[in-house]
Amino acid sequence: LTRVASFLSAYVYAPLEVPPPRRLYVIHRGCAKYKDQLLSVGDMWGHVEMMLTNAHQTTATAMTYLHVLYIESGKVLELAESYPEVRKRIRRWTAFEALKLYLISNLRQERRRQRRLRFSRQVACENSVTELSI
């Protein structure tokens, strides 16, 4: 635990300031808005973006003076090398998150494709009705 604490850095963000992505943040004091949620003391964000290199980089915005502790992705991986069981859990979690994001993305694409298809069928049907009435 002492080793983990030695890798943490502290920073204070002013209201409306946006902390940089690819870090794991833990709120010590203040509030932040992240993915339409209000986060406060003890909440964290950035773990998905930090571990998945091609994940959508979602940022938080400080809503008040925001005191955070953070650790960069390289430091987490460096720490994990010393603890094989932790490294194994991180790899498993990362694979699960990557699969989850992939499935969600594909489902959204399929939903958009279905909407476009329904709309084009509706337009074609309306055009046929218009031609018949003429």
Query: Is 80 exceeded by the pLDDT of residue 133?
Result: no
Query: Higher-confidence residue: 105 or 58?
Result: 105
**pTM higher than the cut 0.75:** no
- Give the model confidence (pLDDT) of 70-103 as tens digits: 998 888 888 888 888 888 887 888 888 778 878 8
Query: Higher-confidence residue: 108 or 122?
Result: 108
What are the beta bridge partners of residue 37? 34
Q: At what angle do helices 73-81 and 84-133 cross, to 10 degrees?
A: 140
Residues 6 or more apart whose CB falls under 8 angstroms from that of 94 comprise: 51, 52
Which of 10-19, 42-51, 109-118 comes out lowest in average pLDDT?
42-51
Query: Higher-confidence residue: 133 or 43?
Result: 43
- Give the model confidence (pLDDT) of 1-39 as tens digits: 677 788 899 999 999 999 998 888 999 999 999 988 999
Q: Choose among 51, 50, 56, 53: nearest CA to 23.
A: 50
Question: Please, are residues 83 and 32 in contact by the beta-carbon 8 Å criterion?
Answer: no
